[in-house]
Amino acid sequence: GFPTPANVPGELWIGGPGVSRGYVGRPRLTAERFVPDPLADRPGSRAYRSGDLVRMLGGGRYEFLGRIDAQIKIRGFRVEPGEVEVAVRRLASVKAAVVVARSDAERGVHLVAYVVSREEHPSGVRDAAELEKLLPAYMIPSAWVYLERLPLTGNNKVDRRALPAPVWHAARDTVPPRTHTERAIAAAFEHVLRLSNVDRESDFFLLGGHSLLAVSLVAQIERNLGTRVELLDVFQRRTVAALAARVDQGAPAGRSEIWSELASGAGPEVLAMHGLSGRVTDLLALAGALDGRLAVAGLTADSGLDQMSLAELARHHTEEIRERRGQGPFLILAHSAGAFFALEVARALLGDGLSAAVCLLDPPPFETRADAVDEVSIARKWGTEVLAAAGRESESWRLAGASGEAATLRALADAGLGAGAEEGRLLQEELRRYARLFACSREARVSGPRVPHSTVILASEGNGRSGAARAVASWLSVLEEPSTSVVEATHFGMLKAPAVARVADLVARWSVTTGFDGKAGS
């Protein structure tokens, strides 16, 4: 076992001199529960695996989420119903709730929320929408049952056996695929995501897709249709219908689209900048959390843009932004090393006499480096991020001995990621783009205008681990008196539920404090 960061669910282990040696006369159970203590200094020390799923809140406090042995798998993801139950209880409309796993032939394993509501006319659609601000789509209960009170046993515990079976109502009308192309792409969705009955408006990423699965989707669509779609198309046209329309249109003429609309809202528009992957996939959940409050547009680096110098890339993005959004003002958002691209674009806009500000999410230290790029380290870093995107961080040990591009790709294939020839080729392209953009990001320099009205939001278990003041210090040479916030999360966890809701609130607040009123171009 490995310690988990604050606010991340994990099994509670108990160690110390008070832990016994095991269960009398039960050697098998003893071996399961009493294990070597990984944190003890004394050889032979044991720790007790409680089987309780908890989250460390700080100050010696822990939140009980349920039992490890109650975990289930939904769409290939491990889900703890107790964790979902805690989130449901946090909704303002909920007085009491319990979440249980059910299974039937039609839907397989699914979650059902039983709720005592504070509202006179409760709505499962409305509560599910609120819960999506806290949890990823695959953790949202499939059915919501509203009761006057939860049934209790004689011991005053919820009587789960007495909970009624749900009566199913579709959250929205589903429309099956209409054309041959739509049916083939829907079949590709189902194959990659291991789902059934995908309709034409199904969103690949809301169904549980991520950047690595997008690589598999591209390969599967080519197998189904004999037609190649670009990886960028999957990110920009996320539904079956939209992807099918792209395929039926044929290859696009002219320059590649690097702009995508991610969210709409009445507040100022935020421009989401790509990171080292050249994509904005990592920011999709944040854009979803901002939807209805702020408009969000994404800028990618594809089709040769990753071959440019940092100055050339910033100028290209600046021209794209001004062509689409006029004179600004411009609010630019970036995560991790995307901060370097956001900074250069903001400086270019300021140099043109326009107003710009940046919101940097857990950026690495600002360093000016002219030494050669360590290709081995970059390949491992990329591989670690690929595993994180796939929810496979625990297998990062496979990369320990990887000595470059080929070894990193083999390590991922051993983990079942990109094992097919086409998937492997696409992953190789992704790694090479990542390496080129990494080298590009290192061209950032201190010289240039300092960007005003900016903010830095750090992850407590990411680049903010050393403390906010130290983490932001290196950026003070390029940002003018930035505000600083810290979110209890890991570097990538800050972009996922539940932390992403807090990040969205901070981004929305920053957009107001800049004093930039209205949308870009106004």
Residues 363 and 340 in one domain: yes
Following DSSP, what letter does each residue of 467-514 receive, concatenated? -HHHHHHTTTTTBSS-EEEEEEEETTGGGSTTHHHHHHHHHHHHHHHT
Residues 365 and 379 in one domain: no
Percent of the chain with pLDDT over 70: 88
Distance separating alpha carbons of residues 62 and 13, to the nearest angstrom:
12
Domain final residue, candidates 162, 188, 212: 162
Q: Say if residue 173's pLDDT is above 60.
A: no
Distance separating alpha carbons of residues 129 and 137, to the nearest angstrom:
10
Residues 451 and 501 in one domain: yes
Residue 2 lies in a domain: no
Which of 97-106, 221-230, 333-342, 429-438 is predicted most confidently?
Answer: 333-342
Question: Which pLDDT value is given to residue 108?
Answer: 64
Question: Which pLDDT value is given to residue 184?
Answer: 95
Distance separating alpha carbons of residues 444 and 442, to the nearest angstrom:
5
Residue 388 lies in a domain: yes
Residues 33 and 86 in one domain: no
- Residue 170's pLDDT band, with cuts at 50, 70 and 90, is very low
pLDDT digits (tens, 9 = 90+) for 112-126: 999 999 998 888 878
Question: Which pLDDT value is given to residue 26?
Answer: 80
Q: Say if residue 374's pLDDT is above 60.
A: yes
Residues 211 and 146 in one domain: no
**Average pLDDT score over residue span 468-483:** 90
Residue 1 lies in a domain: no
CB atoms within 10 A of CB 126: 14
**Average pLDDT score over residue span 73-91:** 79
Following DSSP, what letter does each residue of 460-475 receive, concatenated? EETTTTT-HHHHHHTT
Following DSSP, what letter does each residue of 382-396 receive, concatenated? HHHHHHHHTT-GGGG
DSSP collapsed to 3 states, 226-262:
CCCCCHHHHHHCCEHHHHHHHHHHCCCCCCCCCEEEE
In this structure, are residues 519 and 269 in contact, taking their beta carbons and an 8 Å threshold? yes
Residues 32 and 152 in one domain: no
DSSP state of 4: P
CATH value at residue 479 = 3.40.50.1820
Residues 6+ apart with CB under 8 A from 377: none
Question: Which pLDDT value is given to residue 370?
Answer: 57
Residue 134 lies in a domain: yes
Fill in the amino acid letter for 220. Answer: Q
Q: Say if residue 521's pLDDT is above 60.
A: no
Which of 92-106, 181-195, 224-238 is predicted most confidently?
Answer: 181-195
Distance separating alpha carbons of residues 135 and 156, to the nearest angstrom:
29
- Residue 341's pLDDT band, with cuts at 50, 70 and 90, is very high
Question: Which pLDDT value is given to residue 169?
Answer: 45
Residues 6+ apart with CB under 8 A from 156: none
**Average pLDDT score over residue span 322-338:** 92
* 207 or 46, higher pLDDT: 46
Residue 486 lies in a domain: yes
**Average pLDDT score over residue span 40-57:** 80
- Residue 520's pLDDT band, with cuts at 50, 70 and 90, is low
Number of independent structural domains in the chain: 5
In terms of Cβ atoms closer than 10 Å to its own Cβ (0-12, 13-18, 19+), residue 98 is: buried
Question: Which pLDDT value is given to residue 253?
Answer: 40
- Residue 330's pLDDT band, with cuts at 50, 70 and 90, is very high
Residues 154 and 31 in one domain: no
Residues 184 and 237 in one domain: yes
In this structure, are residues 247 and 283 in contact, taking their beta carbons and an 8 Å threshold? no
∠ CA 435-439-440, rounded to 5°: 115
What angle, rounded to 10 degrees, do the helices at 240-249 and 211-225 form? 50
> Is the sign of the CA dihedral 105, 107, 110, 113 positive or negative?
negative
* 37 or 337, higher pLDDT: 337
The residue assigned the tokens 């043109």 is 352
61: left (phi over 0), alpha (psi -120 to 50) or beta: beta
**Average pLDDT score over residue span 458-472:** 84
Question: Which pLDDT value is given to residue 317?
Answer: 94
User: Please, what's the largest Cα pairwise distance for the chain?
Assistant: 79
Question: Which pLDDT value is given to residue 71?
Answer: 66
Residue 37 lies in a domain: yes
Instruction: For strands 259-263 and 265-273, give the pairing.
Output: unpaired
| Kind plus residue range of the DSSP H or E element containing 98 | strand 94-104
**Average pLDDT score over residue span 382-400:** 79
**Average pLDDT score over residue span 2-13:** 74
pLDDT digits (tens, 9 = 90+) for 246-296: 888 875 443 446 888 888 887 788 999 999 989 888 898 898 888 888 999
Question: Which pLDDT value is given to residue 272?
Answer: 96
Residues 33 and 103 in one domain: no
Residues 346 and 220 in one domain: no
Residue 333 lies in a domain: yes
Residue 365 lies in a domain: yes
Residues 265 and 364 in one domain: yes
CATH value at residue 186 = 1.10.1200.10
Calculate the average pLDDT of the chain.
83
Residues 360 and 500 in one domain: yes
Domain range for 191: 180-249
